[in-house]
Amino acid sequence: MNKKPNQKTNQKITHEINQDTTSQESNIEMQNGKQEISLKTSKTFSKRFIVLLPIISIFLLVGFDQFIKHLAVINLKDHDPIVLIQGVLELQYLENRGAAWGILQNKQIVFYILTIVFMAIALWFYIKVPKNRHYLPLMSAVLVLFSGAVGNFIDRVAHQYVVDFIYFSIIDFPVFNVADIYVTLSVIALLIMILFQYKDDDMKFLTRRGK
């Protein structure tokens, strides 16, 4: 007489345990599913970020260069130079149809070809660089370099010359612009990083295929 209630009780307990186990397994599966969705979302966001960040950066840098050149045209063209530091630094308008020190004057086709090749190499280099924090300085320098090339390329295509306006009179350095600063500083930064910051193993990505 006493065994039947015990069997029913045991069956009930076993059933409850099975339900709890099934419920726990279901919760674990839901959590795993949510984690997978979260990881996929995170990866998608990272890919979008990697694509959008350089585009936005280039757009802002080139936009700033073009805006400053526009101000130079408005305020400096057909006007006397503006002296910022007497005997050292001044702003003067110059339409540069060549390169520094007057070389390759009116050789726009040469500049088109060189600039396109230059930008293609910079773009190839940026694509090859692993997209992680270790290479962030390298990627940033390449983006600035690319932006400088684009800034002056726009001038040459639109006007057949580059607007220059910054002049260091103390050393009689060729008149230059913001895009030139981008290119010069980024090249110096790249040389320093490649020679002193990154080791040979860090640069092996350049010889890897499928990147």
Averaged pLDDT, groups of 10, the chain, 211 residues long: 53 55 56 51 59 90 97 94 94 88 75 91 91 90 95 94 94 93 95 91 80 47
Query: What is the predicted pLDDT for the residue at 28?
Result: 55
Alpha carbon distance 58, 52 (integer Å): 10
Task: Read off the pTM.
Answer: 0.74
Contact 177, 189 (CB under 8 A): no
Alpha carbon distance 89, 167 (integer Å): 6
Nearest CA to 62 out of 140, 7, 144, 122 is that of 144
Count other C-beta atoms under 10 Å from residue 133's C-beta: 8
Residues forming the active site:
164, 180
pLDDT digits (tens, 9 = 90+) for 42-57: 455 466 667 788 899 9
Query: What is the predicted pLDDT for the residue at 110?
Result: 87
Query: What is the predicted pLDDT for the residue at 23?
Result: 56
Query: What is the predicted pLDDT for the residue at 18?
Result: 55
Query: What is the predicted pLDDT for the residue at 202?
Result: 87
Alpha-carbon torsion angle 21, 26, 28, 29, nearest 10: 140
Look up residue 175 and give its two tokens: 């008149």
pLDDT digits (tens, 9 = 90+) for 149-175: 999 999 999 999 999 999 999 998 899
In the chain, what is the straight-line distance between the N-terminal and C-terminal CA atoms, in Å? Answer: 77
Alpha carbon distance 72, 151 (integer Å): 15
Judging by beta carbons within 10 Å of its beta carbon (0-12, 13-18, 19+), is residue 57 exposed, middle or buried? Answer: middle
